[in-house]
Amino acid sequence: MIEPGQPRLLLLNGPNLNMLGRRDPGHYGTFTLADAEQLARDAAAEAGFTLDCYQTNHEGDMLEKIHAAMDHYRGLLINAGAWTHTSYALRDALELTRLPVMEIHISDVQHREAFRRVSVIEDVCMGKTAGLGLDSYRVATEKMCAYLRSLEYGR
């Protein structure tokens, strides 16, 4: 059941993203996860959505959060970290929700190590935003909100 009030989005961050601010600044800048979450929250609020945030390093916890999300959110935004490249369980959980999902990466995954070019979740996502640093979170949120609004207004 969709809850009354403002439509809700959920921003998910996977393994090691709690360490933003301490990771390689060349790929991940110097901002923290709290900065990324706040930017996404503000972008969502600007478009009339409430955004909740969740981060975990435990794959089972992520799967359960996604299962529970399906009745409460209009869309999911996810930086799945290294699970992006490996986790078919994550792919299946995202698909199960039947919600629109936006894949997020901070770094330019297309131009790094070969394994980062592989995404096993991309076919269940409506889009991907990567390589913009901190701004990936803002742009991804804006794209998701615009997409959901376009569905609502039929354009």
Which residues are catalytic, by number?
Answer: 28, 105
- Kindly indicate which of the ranges 2-10, 53-61, 77-85, 86-94 contains the residues binding ligand DQA, using the contact rule CB under 6 A: 77-85
| Count of residues interacting with ligand DQA (CB under 6 A) | 10
Residue 129 interacting with ligand DQA (CB under 6 A): no
* Sole binder of ligand DQA in the list 74, 116, 128, 138 (CB under 6 A): 116
Residue 38 interacting with ligand DQA (CB under 6 A): no
Please identify, using beta-carbon distances, which residue of 7 and 43 lies nearer to ligand DQA: 43
Burial of 43 (0-12, 13-18, 19+ CB in 10 A): buried
Token pair listed for 30: 């110097």
Residue 68 interacting with ligand DQA (CB under 6 A): no
Residue 138 interacting with ligand DQA (CB under 6 A): no
Residue 106 interacting with ligand DQA (CB under 6 A): yes
**DSSP string for residues in 75-126:** EEEEE-GGGGGT-HHHHHHHHHHT--EEEEESS-GGGS-GGGG--SSGGG-S
* Residue 26 and residue 93 in contact, taking contact as beta carbons nearer than 8 Å: no
